[in-house]
């Protein structure tokens, strides 16, 4: 993995420095992240299955895409960049909410992130980058809720943490768009 730097932040998302991405995850330090949810016109969520050789959570289902802003990059630009890089989609994303979490991963890494969550609605089909994702599907919120109850181990920890907030924010998002 190349030496990509991420933005370290405090609990109010104020930058405190920068550090290499893998080191941040090894040390469990709080850093800025982005999470993207794309919905189709039926309000089904575009899920991706992370490529099996990713350095963590490979083969697990997750939100449309996620990642980290580079130092000096806005969260908006980072979210739109990651959507292009992972799913081959160029969409105007809207910031919807922020949250913080500290989640252990199975390989000794930690996702300690201050996350900025973005939404978009589009019927465009993804053109996945095979280094990032190896499958996708559109799925209703209700079907995802059932699948999580039956097999939560099929999903990334951050998806399990953010997904319960999605229905309420989706209702507000669609009402305002």
Please give the Cα distance from 140 to 83 (Å, whole number). Answer: 20
Catalytic residue check, 132: no
**pLDDT for res 173:** 84
57, 65, 66, 80: which is the annotated catalytic residue?
66
Catalytic residue check, 113: yes
57, 65, 80, 113: which is the annotated catalytic residue?
113
Per-residue pLDDT of the chain in tens (177 residues, 90 and over written 9) = 458 999 999 999 999 999 999 999 999 999 999 999 999 999 999 999 999 988 788 899 999 999 999 999 999 999 999 999 999 999 999 999 999 999 988 788 999 999 999 999 999 999 999 999 999 999 999 999 999 999 999 999 999 999 999 988 888 888 877
Please give the Cα distance from 154 to 162 (Å, whole number). Answer: 15
**pLDDT for res 130:** 95
Question: How would you class 156 by CB atoms within 10 Å of its CB: exposed for 0-12, middle for 13-18, buried for 19 or more?
Answer: buried
Q: pTM of this prediction?
A: 0.94
**pLDDT for res 2:** 54
Residue 74 makes CB contacts below 8 A (sequence gap 6+) with none
Binding positions for Mn(2+) are 25, 31, 68, 111, 113
**pLDDT for res 1:** 43
Q: Which fold has domain 5-176?
A: Nucleoside Triphosphate Pyrophosphohydrolase (3.90.79)
Binding positions for Mg(2+) are 86
Tell me how crowded residue 35 is: count the other CB atoms within 10 A of its CB: 26
């Amino acid at each position: 993995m190349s030496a990509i730097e991420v933005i370290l932040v405090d609990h109010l998302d104020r930058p405190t420095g920068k550090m290499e991405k893998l080191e941040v995850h090894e040390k469990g330090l709080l850093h800025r992240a982005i999470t993207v949810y794309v919905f189709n016109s039926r309000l089904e969520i575009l899920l991706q299955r992370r490529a099996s050789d990713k350095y963590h959570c490979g083969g697990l289902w997750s939100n449309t895409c996620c990642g980290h802003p580079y130092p000096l990059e806005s969260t908006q630009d980072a979210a739109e960049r990651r959507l292009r890089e992972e799913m081959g989609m160029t969409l105007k994303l809207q910031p919807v909410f922020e949250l913080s979490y500290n989640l252990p991963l199975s390989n000794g890494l930690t996702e300690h992130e201050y996350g900025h969550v973005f939404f978009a609605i589009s019927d465009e089909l993804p053109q996945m980058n095979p280094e990032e994702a190896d499958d996708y599907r559109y799925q209703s919120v209700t079907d995802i809720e059932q699948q999580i109850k039956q097999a939560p181990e099929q999903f990334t920890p951050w998806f399990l943490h953010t997904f319960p907030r999605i229905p309420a924010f989706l209702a507000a998002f669609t009402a305002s768009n």
